[in-house]
Structures are given as structure tokens and as C-alpha cells.
Structure 1
Amino acid sequence: MPVTDVTTDPEALTMTLTADFAAPVDRLWSVFTDPRQLERFWGPPGWPSTFSSFDFTVGGRANYYMTGPRGEIGGGTWEFIEIDPSSSFAVLDAFADEEGNPSTDMPASRMVFAFESTPEGSRLRSTTYFASAEALEQLVGMGMVEGATMAMGQLDRVLEGLRAYAQGKGTQVELLDDTHVRVTRLIEGPIDLVWRAHQEPELLRQWMLGPDGWRMSVCDVDPSVGGRYQYTWEPVGDTEGEPFGFDGETLVSEPPRRAVTTEHMTGTDFPSTLNDLSLYEEDGATLITLLIEYPDKETRDMVLATGMTDGMEASYARLERELIPA
């Protein structure tokens, strides 16, 4: 995790976040001043940002919105008030309505992003100045510290590039907190094909099989928002095991980049998980990121103990092998 310190100072009315990165300062500067790169990390996992405008000039504005895993929308706006190229910039940061107008119901703040070189690469120091102790307490109470820390934790993959970040590492599983797990896997193939492989039954049947010796006997998918799906697997040949399956509903669909679904083990009273799938393509390779939200830590640990990671890796390897043209 690149964040090394987060300090709130009720007397100075500030929150300061410090993070170190193994990348030159010019590279770090570029990801904060390019909206397409900002979108890849600005927002905690499960709340990706979309910048609808970005005028990086003193007096200019940037408008964005975050889309939650159940389709919730939260808007924000920046007014750029200071820019010192490659060194720092400052914004007036506010919540915003659907038209991008600053909200009068929520406190605004001033944010200063400062960048400096270090022997290992570069350092970001982000300082937020609040208008009052009440505003600081309100925003920190809403999870500002945790959200900013998790957002910065997504920056390494942007700075490194997809292949440097994930190539050859297989399926990686990160425990983000007691109820959230992030799974990543690089696929050497275009985003449109990887998206279709997750949406179309005839493709799903070819790769989403887990370890050898299983077949998908049921694959019904309605990928539209509100649509439902059902998967069932059963052993073949001498493979031991009992048939099992999952069913759920699509909550968010943004082809070809994001789909959020619920997942429930068919025929059980186990609670559902929330599965947030996002895809990003760079130089012909696509990074799959699956953010899974469990109802509690016990369920998370129980699922991970089933060998989930090995099964997912077998499936993703099959996706590359069977569906990606040589």
C-alpha cells in the first residue's frame, strides 16, 4: 500500500495524506492531470469515477461522478485555483448535483496536491483544508480517510502499466478489509472479447469451468440491468463431487467495462455476495478486476478456503487458451 501516513489536525482543520511511489515525479503528475488516467483510481474500490469535463487551467473546472455497486451516483466538482506545473496544484473540491453545480447541502474544501522527487521515485502529499471543525468531522465520519487510502492503493497499476503490473502473475487475490476481496488477472486479449466471454452463454460454457473434470450444465444469462443469471456445474467422468450452482441479478451494466451482479449459491440460505467486475485494456491486454463484497469476515474466509483462487486461475487460463486467437 503506497499510503504511508494520514493525519487529521482538528486545530489546523486539515487532513494530510502522504504516499510514496516507485515512479518519477513527472509520471505521477501525469496521472493526476489526465482525466482518463484519473478515472482508473480516483474513487475507492466499487466507486469508480467518470470525468465528464476537465479544464486544467486556473479558473477551469473538472466535473465527475462516481457510480456505486448498486447503481448509486455521487457527483463532484473541482475548481482549479493554483497550478505550478509538475510541482503542485490546488482545487476547490465540492459535492455536485447532476448538472455539475456545487452542492449547498454539503461542505466544500480546498485540496492541495504537492509532488516531489524521492530517491525511490516520487511522493504525493495531499492536504485538505476544511472550513470548520464540523465539516472536518462530518467528512471524516463519512469515510474520507478510508476512501482516500483505498483510492491511492489503486495507483500502482496505473503508474506501472498493465503488463509490468500483472503479466505472468496469474490470478492475484488481495484482502482489502474484512468483507472486501479484490481479484485481478491479466488476459492477453482485447477488452471486447473478454467482455463477451463474461456475458454470452456460448462463450461462458467454454471457459468458466474451474478445474478440469467439470462441465457447465446450465448457463442462462440475461446481462441487462435487472436481468438474472443461473450457472450450474456438474462433474464428468471419474471426477468426484456434487453438482452446484449460483444465481443472481445484474445491478450495473456498462459495456464493455463494468458489470455488477449479486451471487447466491443455488439451493442454500447462504447470503449473497456482490461481485463488481471491471475491465481495462492497454496495448492489447485486458486487466480483469473483480471486487467481491462478502456479508461478513466468516463468509469471506470460508469461501477463500474452498480453493477459489485455484479454480479461478484454471478458468482464466482456459479463457486465454480457448478464446483468444493465437
Structure 2
Amino acid sequence: MPVIDVITETETLTMTVIAEFAAPVERVWAAYSDPRQLERFWGPPGWPATFTAWDHTVGGRAQYTMHGPRGERASGYWEFLAIDEPHGFEVLDGFADDEGNPNPDLPAMRMAVRFEPTDDGTRMTMTSYLQSIEALEQMVEMGAIEGTRTAMAQLDAVLQDLREYAQGKGTRVELLDDTHVRITRLVEGSRELVWRAHHDPQLIQQWMLGPDGWEMTECVAATEVGETYRNSWAPVGDTEGEPFGFEGELLLTDAPRRAVTTERMQGMAEPQTLNDLNLYEEDGATLVTVLIEYPDLATRDMILATGMADGMEASFARLESTVLAA
């Protein structure tokens, strides 16, 4: 995790985030001064940001909206107070409505960001100055500390070449907290084709088979918000196991980038997970990221213990060797 410490001080009304990155200062600066790169990490997992305005000059403003997995929206703005390329910048950071107007009911703060070289890369110190103890407490209560940690954890993938970051590492499972798991897999192929492979029943049935010895017996895809999907599997030949299946509802879609669905065993209302699929393409390769939200820790551990990651890796390998290679 890039964040090594988060310090709140009531005497100075500040929250300071200290993080270290294995990249030079100029590369980290570039990530913070390009809205397209910022969108990949400014916002915790499940709440990606979209910057709708970007005037990177002293006195200029940036506006963004974070989009939650259930259609929630949270908007904010930066007003640039100082820019010292590539060593840091200072902004007035506040919450806003969808038009970018400041929200007076939520605390605004001055945020100063500094980048310093280290032997291994860059140390970032980000200090937020609040107006009152109440504002500092409100920010902490809103989850700012954990949200910052999980958001910064996404920056490693931005700072590195995508293949350097993920190629050859297979399906990776990261436990973010008691109820959230992030699964990533690099797939050689365009984002558009990987998206189709996740939503076209004829393509899905070619690769989403899980471990060897299983076949998909039913595939009903959902392409519009509110539609339901249904997938079923059964063992083949001498393979042991009982047929099973999943079903759920499509809650959000932004083709070919993001789709959010619920998931539960067929015929059961609970337990139900929230699956947030994100696709990012760079130089002909696509990073598949699935953020899974479980109802509780016990359910998370029970599902992971089934060998889910192994089944996903077998399916992703089949995706590359059959669908994308055709």
C-alpha cells in the first residue's frame, strides 16, 4: 500500500497523508496534473471520478463527480491556489453539486501536496487544513482516512506501464477490508472485445467455464439497467460436483468501461454480492478489475474458500486463448 501514515491533529486542524511511490517525482506529478490519469485513482474503489472541467492554472478550477456502484453521485471541485511543477500544488478542495457549485453544508479545506525524491522514488505529503474541529471530525466520520488509503492504493497501476504492472501475474486477489475484495487480471486484447466477451452470450459460453471439466449450460445476459442475467454450470463426464448457477440484476452500465451487477445463487435471496466490473486499456492490453462487495466477513471468506480465484484464472486463460485469439 502506498500510504504509510495518516495523521490527524486537532491542535492544527489538519489531516496529513504520507505516501511513497516507486516512481520519480516527475512521473507522480504527471499523474496528478492529468485529469485522465487522476480519474483512475481520485476516488476510492467503487467510486471512480470523472473530471468534467480542468483549468490547471493558478486561479483555475477543476470539477469532478464520483459515481457509486448503485448510481450514487458525489461531486467536488479544486480551485488551484499555487502550482510548483513538479514539486507540488495547493488547492481549495470542496464538495459541490452536479453543476460544480460549492456545497455549503459540507466542509471545504485547503489542501497542500508536496512531492520529494527518495532513494526508491517519491514521497508525497498531502496536508488538508480544516476550518474547525467539527469540520475535521465530520471529514473523519465520512470515511476520509480509509477512503484515502484505498484510493491511493490504486496509484501503482497508474504509475507503471500496464504490462509491467500486471503481465504474467495471473488473477490477483486483494483483500481491501472485511467486505471488499479486488480481483485483477491483464488480458491481451482491446477493451471493446473484452467488453463484448463479458456481455455476448455466444462469447461468454466459450470462456466463462471455470475449472476444466465444467461446461456452461445456460447463459442469459443483461445489457440494460434493470435487466436480470442468469448463468448455469454443470460437470462434464467423470468430473465430480453438483450443477449450480448465479443470477442477478444489472444496476449500472457504461460501455465499454464499467458494469455493476448483483449476484446470488439461483433460487436464493441471500447472500448477495455486488460485483463492479471495470475495464482499462493501454497499448492493446486490457486490465480487468472486479471489485466485489460482500454482506459480511464470514460470507467473504466462505466464497473465497471455494477456489473462486482459481476458477476465474482458468476462465481468463480460456478467454485469451479462444475468444481473443480468434
Measured against the shorter chain, the TM-score band is over 0.9
Q: What is the CA–CA distance in structure 1 between the aligned matches of 2:304 and 2:162, rounded to whole Å?
A: 25
Q: Distance in 2 between matches of 1:188 and 1:34?
A: 26
Which stretch shifts more, 180-189 or 233-242?
Answer: 233-242
Question: What's the offset of the Cα at 1:325?
Answer: 2.9
Q: Cα deviations across residues 272-293 of structure 1 (Å, max 9, x unaligned)?
A: 0000000000000000000000
Instruction: Report 1:228-243 matches (<5 A).
Output: 228-243=228-243
AA aligned to 2:226 is G
Question: Matches of 2:141 and 2:269 in 1, distance apart?
Answer: 34
Report how far residue 269 of structure 1 moved.
Answer: 4.6
Does 1:280 pair with 2:280?
A: yes
Instruction: Describe the superposition over 1:44-64 as per-residue Cα deviations: whole angstroms up to 9, x where unpaired.
Output: 000000001111000100000
Partner residue, 1:107: 107
Letter in 1 for 2:60: G
Superposed CA RMSD:
0.8
Q: SS where residue 69 of structure 2 aligns?
A: coil
* Percentage identity across paired residues of the two chains: 65
CA-to-aligned-CA distance 1:65-118 (integer Å, 9 cap, x gap): 000010101100110011111011011011111111111111111101101100
Which residue is 1:25 aligned to? 25
Alignment: residue pair count: 326
Instruction: Give the structure 2 partner of residue 244 of structure 1.
Output: 244
- 2:69 — aligned with what? 69
Query: Which aligned pairs between 1:55-134 and structure 2 lie closer than 5 A?
Result: 55-134=55-134
Residues of 2 paired with 1:233 and 1:216: CA distance? Answer: 4
Q: Give CA-to-partner distance per residue, 1:256-280, whole Å, 9 cap, x none.
A: 0000000011123531000000000
**How far did residue 323 of structure 1 move?**
1.1
Answer yes or no: is 1:205 the counterpart of 2:205.
Answer: yes
One-letter code of the match for 1:222? A
SS at match of 1:300: helix
Q: Deviation at 1:236? A: 1.5
* Structure 1: gaps (5+ residues): none
Query: Once the 2 structures are TM-superposed, how far is the Cα of residue 222 of structure 1 from its aligned partner?
Result: 2.0
Partner of residue 4, structure 1 = 4
> 1:139 — aligned with what?
139
User: Which consecutive residues of structure 2, in runs of 5 or more, have no partner in the other structure?
Assistant: none
Q: Which whole-Å deviations, capped at 9, do the CAs of 1:234-274 have from their partners, x for residues lacking one?
A: 11212111110000001110000000000011123531000
1:51 aligns to what? Answer: 51
Q: Distance in 2 between matches of 1:235 and 1:214?
A: 4
**Distance in 2, Cα, partners of 1:4 & 1:242:** 46
TM-score normalised over the length of structure 2: 0.99
